[in-house]
Amino acid sequence: MDLKSILTPDMVNLHLKGKTKEEIISEMVDVLVASGKVSNRDEALKSVIEREQKMSTGMKHGIAIPHGKTDVVSDMVACIGISDEPVDFDSLDQEPCRIFVMTLSPTNKTGKHLQFLAEVSLLFKSADKRREILEAKDNEAVIQILTE
């Protein structure tokens, strides 16, 4: 999968301000809405919150991958956000998160969504990649780090 075709500089927020899981998710949905690829913000937000209530998407190493399935997108969309402060996300390792990757997919399409999640989770196994992302100075740098 070509991450550059999904994650573009306009799909990055280097300074998320939210202090809670819900605030972070809301900010991330706003990034997707701003891209013009989400037809209904409330439905998009609802799909991610409902998924999160089933089981936290907080992974390990300060990363969370909130996602949802909804028909307010015609194809999978994704964005990445970095929080200036660690946020409790009910992570597997009980550590707070600073790196967030959100995806929204149509309810009838799964392959691309799963492939994207698998590829992104592999990237973040590298402590160096995580550090580089947290230190990135602009949106283009984040995309370059993820796609090199």
Could you give all domains of the chain from N- to C-terminal order, each with its CATH number?
3-147 (3.40.930.10)
User: pLDDT digit of tens for each residue in the chain (148 aa)?
Assistant: 567 778 899 999 999 999 999 999 999 999 999 999 899 999 999 999 999 999 999 988 999 999 999 999 999 999 999 999 999 999 989 999 999 999 999 998 777 777 887 777 776 788 998 999 999 999 999 999 888 7
pTM: 0.93
| Whether residue 113 lies in the annotated active site | no
Instruction: Judge residue 58's burial from the number of C-beta atoms within 10 Å of its C-beta, 0-12 exposed, 13-18 middle, 19 or more buried.
Output: buried
Residue of 15, 61, 67, 113 marked catalytic:
67
